Amino acid sequence: MKRRAFITLLGGAAAAWPLAARAQRGGKLPTIGVLGVPSSWAHWTSAFVQRLGELGWIEGRNVVIEYRWAEGRRERFSEIAAEFVRLKVDVIFTGGDAAAAAKQATSVISIVFTLGSDPVGSGLVASLARPGGNVTGLSAQQTDIAGKRLELLREVVPGLRRLAILVNVTNPQSVLEIGEVQAAARKLGLEVATFEIRQSEDIAPAFGALNGRAEAVYVCGDALTYLNRTRINSLSIGLRLPTILPQREFVEAGGLMSYGPSFTDLFRRTADIVDKILRGAKPGDIPVEQPTKFDLVINLTTAKALGLTIPESFLLRADEVIE
C-alpha cells in the first residue's frame, strides 16, 4: 500500500472511532447510566441501544451501559441519580419525569432526557434552542397536543359535554398538562372534573368517584398510569367511559384510543444526542428536539364494548386500528 493511501486510511479510521472510545486506552470505557422510570421501558430502551450500535457504540465493547429501574417510585429517582454520580458515569439518560432529580444530583454530568412534557416550563432547560447547563433531550409535547386529543375524542364521542381528567399529581409534568387540558376543554365548551391519584391504590376509588360525573376520560401519561394501564382500561370499560390516552401501549392493553408521539422513535433519536455528547459536544449547546412522528391508534374491540360506532373517515386517518 502506498504511504499516502495508508495515511488517508488511518486518518479516516481514527475519525470514525468514537472520541470517548479512545479513552479505553486509559482503562475506562465511557459509561451511560440509564435511569429507567419503569422496567417496562425495556423495549424502548432496546431501540435506544440499537441506534447507539448503528452509531458505532457497542455495549460491552466500547461503551458501558448501567441500567437502573425505579418502577415508577419517585423516591428512587434521586437514589439512582446519586448512585450514577458516585459511579461517575459520562451521561445520564432518563425520562422527563426523572430528569429533574438527575439535575438536582449533578450539574457536571451530562443529562439527556426523553419524553419531557414541558422542559422549559418545568425548569429543566432555559430554552429549547439553547438549553444551557448540563441538560438536553427530546420533548414529548404532551402539553402541546392536549387540544388535538380532545378534538379527536369529540369526533368519536360527538355529544361529549362532561370530561374527567385522571392525573398523577405527584408528577410535575402531568400537573402542567392539566392546565393545557382544562384550557382546551373550555374552548370546546366541555365541563371538566379532575380526579387526582398519587399511587396505584387511588385508581379504583377515583373511578368510583367519577361514575355518573363524566362521559369520557382524559388520562395524563406518566409512569404510574402506564404501569396501571390495564386496570385503568378495565375500570373505564366497566363504567362505559371512552378514554383518550397518551400512547399506543395503553390502547394495546385495551384502551379506546391514543394520540401521541412514537416513543420508539423518540428513544432512537435520543441516542443521536447521546452520541454527540460522547464525542465531545456540550449538552447545553444541543437544542431540545421535538417529536416528528405522531400516532393515532384506536381499538375497535373496545369501541364495540362501549357501544361506539367509529366513523370510517376516522379509521382511515388512524395509524393503527386494533380489532
Q: What is the mean pLDDT of residues 200-217?
A: 94
In the prediction, which pLDDT does 79 show? Answer: 96
Same domain, 183 and 66: no
One domain for residues 226 and 254: yes
The letter for the amino acid at 155 is E
Sheet containing strand 216-219, edge to edge, reads 191-197, 162-168, 216-219, 243-245, 257-261, 294-299, 320-322
Residues 216 and 118 in one domain: no
Q: Are residues 194 and 207 in the same domain?
A: yes
| Residue 19 pLDDT level (bands cut at 50, 70, 90) | very low
Phi-psi group of 138: left, alpha or beta (phi > 0 → left; psi -120 to 50 → alpha; rest → beta): beta
CATH number of domain containing 57 = 3.40.50.2300
The pLDDT of residue 20 is above 70:
no
What confidence tier does 176 reach under pLDDT thresholds 50, 70, 90? confident
- Examine the domain organization and report whether 62 and 202 are in the same domain: no
**Strand extents, DSSP E, the chain:** 31-36, 64-69, 91-95, 110-116, 135-139, 162-168, 191-197, 216-219, 243-245, 257-261, 294-299, 320-322
Q: Are residues 93 and 132 in the same domain?
A: yes
Find out whether 299 and 255 touch, Cβ atoms under 8 Å.
yes
Q: Give residue 21's pLDDT band: very low, low, confident or very high (50, 70, 90).
A: very low
Q: How far apart are CA 52 and CA 45, in angstroms?
A: 11
Host domain of residue 61? 3-141+263-294
pLDDT tens, 56-94? 999 999 999 999 998 878 889 999 999 999 999 999 999
Same domain, 158 and 275: no
The sheet with strand 64-69 has its strands ordered as 64-69, 31-36, 91-95, 110-116, 135-139
- Assigned C-alpha cell, 168: 398523577
pLDDT attached to residue 173: 80
**pLDDT score at 285:** 96
Three-state DSSP class for 176?
A: helix
Per residue in 267-282, pLDDT (tens digit) is 999 999 999 999 999 9
Residue 27 is predicted with a pLDDT of 61
Residue-wise pLDDT for 294-313, tens only, equals 899 999 999 999 999 999 99
Q: What percent of the chain has pLDDT over 90?
A: 69
Alpha-carbon span 148 to 180, nearest angstrom: 11
Q: What local confidence, expressed as pLDDT, does residue 23 receive? A: 45
Q: Are residues 218 and 151 in the same domain?
A: yes
Are 97 and 217 members of one domain? no
State residue 122 phi and psi, 5-degree precision: -85, -5
Q: What's the CA gap between 1 and 194, in Å, rounded? A: 73
Q: What is the pLDDT of residue 142?
A: 67
pTM for the complete prediction?
0.80
**1 or 128, higher pLDDT:** 128
Q: Are residues 174 and 108 in the same domain?
A: no
- Looking at per-residue pLDDT, the higher value among 36 and 87 belongs to 87
Cβ distance 59 to 65 under 8 Å? Answer: yes
- From CA 40, how far away is CA 221, in angstroms rounded? 14
Q: How much is the mean pLDDT over the chain?
A: 88
- 107-166: pLDDT as tens digits: 999 999 987 767 887 788 999 999 999 999 998 776 678 899 999 999 999 999 999 999
How many C-alpha atoms does 77 have within 13 Å on its Cβ side? 22
Judge whether residue 284 has pLDDT over 50: yes
The answer for residues whose C-beta is within 8 angstroms of residue 52's C-beta and 6 or more apart is 59, 63, 271, 274, 275
Identify the pLDDT of residue 283: 97
Percent over 70 (pLDDT), the chain: 90
Statement: residue 205 has pLDDT above 90? yes
DSSP class per residue in 158-171: TT--EEEEEEETT-
pLDDT(15) > 50: no
- Are 115 and 178 part of one and the same domain? no
Q: What is the mean pLDDT of residues 259-263?
A: 90
Q: 97 with 177, same domain?
A: no
Handedness of CA 260, 264, 269, 274 (dihedral sign): positive
- For residue 11, pLDDT over 80 is answered with no
Alpha carbon distance 73, 321 (integer Å) = 33
- Domains of the chain: total: 2
